Structures are given as C-alpha cells and as structure tokens.
C-alpha cells in the first residue's frame, strides 16, 4: 500500500531534532511520497537539501506563501521564476490568499497569486492553493484565470459543500488533512458527497495534527489517521482510499 502526503513541510524547524527519524517512521507505515510546498526564498536551500537526502521520496514545489507576501514580494517572485528554470519542481505553491493574519496585504497577495498561476501555466505545472478566510477572493482570481491549463490542489480544504464543488469546477483536487478528524471540522459531514476522484490526502505537517494528536506537532506518519477517517466516512477499505488518492496525486503532479 502506497500512501501519498501531498503537502508536508518536512524542512520545518520543528523537525530539526529528529527529521530523519520522523521521515523514516512515515516510510515504514507506507508513506513513500512526500510533496513539499515552498514558503519563501529563505527555505529554498533546506528544501534542496531535503531532496538530496531523500531523492526517491521527496518531490518539491516552488512558490511564495501568501503570508510571506510583503513589500519585497516582487523580488521573491523573481526568485520563484529563477528556481523554476534551475531545478525540477512538481507544482507552483503554496500560493493563494490568507486574510486571517493580515487583510492589509490583500492587493499584493492577489497580484502574487495571479502571477504564480501564470507561472504554473507557463511551466505546465499544477498550482497548490492556500486559502484562509479568502474563498471569495480566491474564486475571483481563479475565475479570471480559468482555462484548460489551470489545475491543481486546494490545499487544506475547509469550506462548504458548495465551495468544494466550486473549487472542483476550476479543475482542483481537494487536499484533505487533519481537519477531517476534528469534531468541529464540519467537512466530515459532507465530504462523502464528493467523488473520491477529487480527493488527495495531506498532513500540512508540522501543523494541523489529526485527532488524537491535535494540538501537538503534526508528522507525515499521522496521515494514517486521515486515511482511516476517510475509510470510515466513505465506507471503503483503507487500501482503496490510499490507492485512489495516490493515483489522484499522480494525475495532478504528473509523477
């Protein structure tokens, strides 16, 4: 059984003390594919080192995280553009809009998001979208960019059934992680109305650990808890869920 974690920050400082052991634990559980989102240029070297250390398991993305869209965002986007010509990346991301922390940067977040969508199209790559308190703004940008070359993943999907269907209409898969196990997560109440062909699994480690680890450091190994929850909701064997979601990730990332 191959399990794919489509979104995990394995280079995070939270893993500095036990990174190799933590990754090894996940691999033993069958998690053999890790897709690594970018944040900004300060993490690029750590990401490249991770790929060097785990060449068979690690797949990198390149992008500028919306919470890191600051005054220097144009320089950061130039870094993204340059890196896309220097190494193999499997997506542009994570990108998107985050209005939870800072609404004042909405204008430049939209510009950076749109620019990265266009970069993804240029390089024939998927986009991986971060959305927090920003569904309407995200959909507004996607509507303007909608065409056959737009595709990707709505990472850490936490919206409604209607928002899920709208995301799918833009050729997006839904990234489902620890929130599916939360009592107040709500997506568990309707996700079985979404065909499994639209679902990929993720952890967003070290963030958003699933029950029973909620509030603690998340790890890629804990994707097994997400897998078991989806198995219960869809009433399908865990092997089926793992196989389908891994195939979906292959379809998106072209791996």
| pLDDT tens digit sequence for 226-244 | 999 999 999 999 999 999 9
Helices (H), the chain: 19-28, 44-53, 73-86, 106-122, 135-145, 161-169, 223-234, 238-253
Q: What is the CATH number of the domain that holds 139?
A: 3.20.20.140
> Residue range 87-100: average pLDDT?
97
Token reading at 66: 């919306």
Q: Which domain holds residue 54?
A: 3-253
* Model confidence pLDDT, tens digit, residues 201-212: 999 999 999 999
Give the separation between CA 19 and CA 12, rounded to whole angstroms: 9
* Model confidence pLDDT, tens digit, residues 25-69: 999 999 999 999 999 999 999 999 999 999 999 999 999 999 999
User: pTM higher than 0.85 for the full model?
Assistant: yes
Give the separation between CA 93 and CA 65, rounded to whole angstroms: 7
pLDDT score at 185: 86
How many structural domains comprise the chain? Answer: 1
């Amino acid at each position: 059984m191959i399990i794919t974690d489509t979104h995990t920050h394995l280079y995070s400082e939270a893993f500095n003390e036990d990174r190799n052991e933590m990754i090894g634990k996940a691999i033993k559980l069958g998690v053999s594919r890790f897709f690594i989102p970018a944040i900004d240029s300060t993490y690029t070297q750590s990401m490249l080192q991770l790929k060097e250390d785990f060449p068979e398991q690690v797949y990198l993305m390149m992008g500028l995280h919306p919470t890191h869209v600051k005054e220097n965002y144009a320089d950061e986007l130039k870094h993204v553009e340059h890196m896309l010509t220097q190494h193999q990346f499997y997506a542009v991301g994570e990108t998107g809009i985050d209005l939870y922390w800072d609404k004042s940067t909405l204008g430049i977040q939209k510009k950076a998001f749109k620019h990265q969508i266009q970069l993804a199209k240029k390089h024939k790559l998927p986009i991986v979208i971060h959305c927090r308190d920003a569904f309407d703004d995200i959909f507004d940008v996607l509507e303007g960019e909608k065409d056959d070359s737009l595709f990707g993943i709505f990472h850490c999907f936490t919206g409604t059934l209607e928002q899920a269907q709208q995301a799918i209409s833009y050729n997006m898969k839904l990234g489902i992680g620890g929130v599916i196990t939360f009592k107040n997560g709500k997506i568990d109440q309707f996700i079985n109305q979404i065909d499994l062909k639209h679902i990929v699994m993720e952890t967003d480690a070290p963030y958003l650990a699933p029950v029973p680890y909620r509030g603690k450091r998340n790890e890629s190994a804990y994707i097994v808890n997400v897998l078991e929850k989806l198995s219960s909701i869809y009433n399908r064997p865990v092997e089926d869920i793992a196989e389908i979601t891994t195939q979906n990730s292959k379809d998106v990332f072209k791996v």
